[in-house]
């Protein structure tokens, strides 16, 4: 089993075999999570600190549960309310953290690159739980696990990623992962919601949902990230839903057994029809949440093995 990384900051540095290693381990943790007794000891004796500089419900809860199931001491800090407002710099935060000796640090931050910066300043392993529009690696890994379990493979699939791609770290990490595993990735969005430099991504791009969904195996919807929009990106939510919202009629253009995904939180009736989101024959949105815990357990387990393999840094 090889996973030669000190941190998990993005999908970009991961090789295909490392992705497979992580997903295989996550599969074992899915099985553990379905048992009455859910405890393992991979993180026993280690301290995990979750620092969220941006709101989060499911990701924070998922990391917390993952750490507890593996026996870590877990502490969650909600930073937007405290030090960030008081003007503490990231470097100050890193110094404070170093003094607490955590082993694993899970960070979400509104600025792209902030988690990488923090990782250079702290002594522990760092996991990026989403930085600005940059990366959200555990989301892409949990999506990959969901796809692999539903489709039986993670290569040569056609995956349509639809909606607000410009503001989405979820889209970026998924594009990187799906591309690396040799899938065909199609982006479907209005021109205003596509990022600049999209040509370098190695993906197909269309502005038409029916064309984009044609023969897709996987339809991945994204949330309209209104908090990152500072202008008129869409004419109105109603118009957006009409053209880009996923409903049964548009989904009929995908393969008959295509699965529907959404990272949450969902804007029902804006990017996806509520009934379709709840349709257990098509939607795997609940599975994504379950896979999230397992993938985070696997990621922290692999990083902890690497931590334990290194000599303890003696701090005087
Ligand atoms: N929860 C995901 C994220 O943190 C997706 C979203 O918020 O739309 O990026």
DSSP string, 218-265: EEEE----GGG--S-SSS-HHHHHHHH-B-HHHHTTS-TT-EEE--S-
On whether both 190 and 271 belong to a single domain, the answer is yes
Give CA torsion, residues 63, 152, 160, 143, to 10 deg: 0
Ligand 1 pocket mutation, candidates 10, 138, 223, 261, criterion most atoms within 8 A of CB = 223
157-191 pLDDT, tens digit per residue, is 999 999 999 999 999 999 999 999 999 999 999 99
Ligand 1 pocket mutation, candidates 139, 141, 165, criterion most atoms within 8 A of CB = 139
Within a domain: 74: yes
Of the chain, the percentage scoring pLDDT greater than 90 comes to 82
Within a domain: 13: yes
Is 199's pLDDT higher than 80?
no
Shortest-distance atom of ligand 1 to CA 108: 4
Find out whether the beta carbon of 163 lies less than 6 Å from any atom of ligand 1: no
Q: Which two tokens stand for residue 81?
A: 């309310």
Within a domain: 111: yes
On whether both 88 and 38 belong to a single domain, the answer is yes
On whether both 150 and 245 belong to a single domain, the answer is yes
On whether both 97 and 213 belong to a single domain, the answer is no
User: What stretches of the chain adopt beta strand conformation (E)?
Assistant: 47-52, 73-78, 104-109, 125-131, 158-162, 184-188, 204-206, 218-221, 259-261
Q: Which two tokens stand for residue 272?
A: 């996806």
How far is the centre of ligand 1, averaged over its atoms, from the C-alpha of 170 (Å)?
7
Q: d(Cα 72, Cα 70) in Å, to the nearest integer?
A: 6
Within a domain: 1: no
On whether both 106 and 233 belong to a single domain, the answer is no
On whether both 151 and 189 belong to a single domain, the answer is yes
Q: Which two tokens stand for residue 149?
A: 């379990």
Within a domain: 316: no
Domains held by the chain: number: 2
Q: Please report the pLDDT score of residue 316 as a whole number.
A: 45
On whether both 64 and 77 belong to a single domain, the answer is yes
Within a domain: 2: no
On whether both 235 and 300 belong to a single domain, the answer is no
233-288 pLDDT, tens digit per residue, is 787 899 999 999 999 999 999 999 999 999 999 999 999 999 999 999 999 999 99
User: What stretches of 110-206 adopt beta strand conformation (E)?
Assistant: 125-131, 158-162, 184-188, 204-206
Q: Which CATH number do you get for residue 221?
A: 3.40.50.1370
Distance (Å) of CA 60 to CA 16, 65, 76, 249: 27, 9, 8, 35
Is 232's pLDDT higher than 80?
no
Find out whether the beta carbon of 170 lies less than 6 Å from any atom of ligand 1: yes
Q: In what order do the strands lie in the sheet with 47-52?
A: 73-78, 47-52, 104-109, 125-131
Within a domain: 314: no
What mean pLDDT comes out for the span 7-20?
97
How far is the centre of ligand 1, averaged over its atoms, from the C-alpha of 173 (Å)?
12
* Domain ranges, residue 159: 137-284
On whether both 155 and 182 belong to a single domain, the answer is yes
Mean of per-residue pLDDT scores for the chain: 93
How far is the centre of ligand 1, averaged over its atoms, from the C-alpha of 307 (Å)?
29
* pLDDT-based confidence at residue 83 (cuts at 50, 70, 90): low
Give pTM, 2 decimals: 0.95
For the chain, what is the total number of helices (H) and then of strands (E)?
Answer: 11, 9
Is 84's pLDDT higher than 80?
no
On whether both 102 and 153 belong to a single domain, the answer is no
On whether both 77 and 89 belong to a single domain, the answer is yes
Residue 86 annotated as lining a ligand binding site? yes
On whether both 296 and 204 belong to a single domain, the answer is no
């Amino acid at each position: 089993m090889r996973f030669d990384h000190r941190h998990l900051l993005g999908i970009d540095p991961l090789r295909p075999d490392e992705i497979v290693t992580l997903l295989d381990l996550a599969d074992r943790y899915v099985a553990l999570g379905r048992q009455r007794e859910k405890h393992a000891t991979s993180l026993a004796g280690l301290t995990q600190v979750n620092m969220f500089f941006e709101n989060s419900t499911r990701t924070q809860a998922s990391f917390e549960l993952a750490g507890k199931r593996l026996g870590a001491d877990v502490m969650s800090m909600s930073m937007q309310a405290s030090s960030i407002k008081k003007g503490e710099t990231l470097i100050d935060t890193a110094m404070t953290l170093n003094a607490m000796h955590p082993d694993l640090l899970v960070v979400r931050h509104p600025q792209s690159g902030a988690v990488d910066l923090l990782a250079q300043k702290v002594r522990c392993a760092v996991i990026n739980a989403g930085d600005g529009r940059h990366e959200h690696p555990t989301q892409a890994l949990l999506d990959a696990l969901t796809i692999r379990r539903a489709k039986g493979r993670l290569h040569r699939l056609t995956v349509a990623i639809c909606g607000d791609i410009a503001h989405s770290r979820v889209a970026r990490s998924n594009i990187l992962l799906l591309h690396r595993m040799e899938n065909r990735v199609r982006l479907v969005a209005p021109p205003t919601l596509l990022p600049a430099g999209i040509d370098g991504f190695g993906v197909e791009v269309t502005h038409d949902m029916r064309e984009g969904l044609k023969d897709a195996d996987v339809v991945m919807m994204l949330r309209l990230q209104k908090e990152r929009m500072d202008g008129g990106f869409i004419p109105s939510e109603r118009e957006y839903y009409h053209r880009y919202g996923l409903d049964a009629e548009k989904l009929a253009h995908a393969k008959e057994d295509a699965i529907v995904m959404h990272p949450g939180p969902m804007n029902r009736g804006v990017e996806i029809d509520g009934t379709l989101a709840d349709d257990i024959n098509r939607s795997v949105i609940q599975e994504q949440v379950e896979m999230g815990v397992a993938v985070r357990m696997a990621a922290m387990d692999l990083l902890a093995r690497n931590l334990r393999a290194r000599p303890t840094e003696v701090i005087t």
